[in-house]
Amino acid sequence: MTPDHVSRIQEQWRRERPDLDVAPLGVIGRLHRLANRLTDELVAVYRQHGLGEGEFDVLAALRRQGHPFELAPGELADHTMVTTGAMSKRVDRLEDAGLVSRRASEHDGRARVVALTDRGREVIDAAFADHMANEQRLLAEVPERDRATLERILREWLART
């Protein structure tokens, strides 16, 4: 197999620091490079729908909730793993674009909820369909027999970290 970028880096470190085991670079370095490439590919599809990665994430979190497609801002932050401050900025942009609305909760008048608008639902439904097609395309490079194994390894690794 032809040495790739990561292999060359490992060789350089082996030469310069033979006292260190640089084997982890083989996995971590490649995962990092792959994650960057995949992010570029994913974000390109979001942009086709006028969304950034964060906006896609918010709309998808709301859509996954089912009818009435709403969450409290704190719940949204939990579902998307960002701070409430970052969530506020995302929701502001989406509200300005007419894709979400903010209103008082029906259960607690002091609480607020963020809800998909009809236009927001149309946008996320189209964007998610294109996103899934894109992920299918990207995974087509991995033989079918390896996908379940890769998914299992990644799931177990993430559970331990």
> pLDDT (tens digit, 9 = 90+) per residue, 87-115?
888 999 999 999 999 988 777 667 789 99
Residues in CB range of 30: below 8 A, 6 or more apart: 4, 6
Compare 110 and 37 and report the one with higher pLDDT: 37
Give the pLDDT of residue 161. Answer: 87
What does the pLDDT average to over 45-71?
Answer: 95
> pLDDT (tens digit, 9 = 90+) per residue, 21-30?
999 999 999 9
- CA separation for the pair 146, 139 (Å, rounded): 10
Buried-exposed string 17-31: b where 16+ CB fall within 10 A, e elsewhere: eeeeebeebeeebee
Give the pLDDT of residue 4. Answer: 87
Residue 38, SS3? Answer: helix
What are 61's two structure tokens? 């979190």
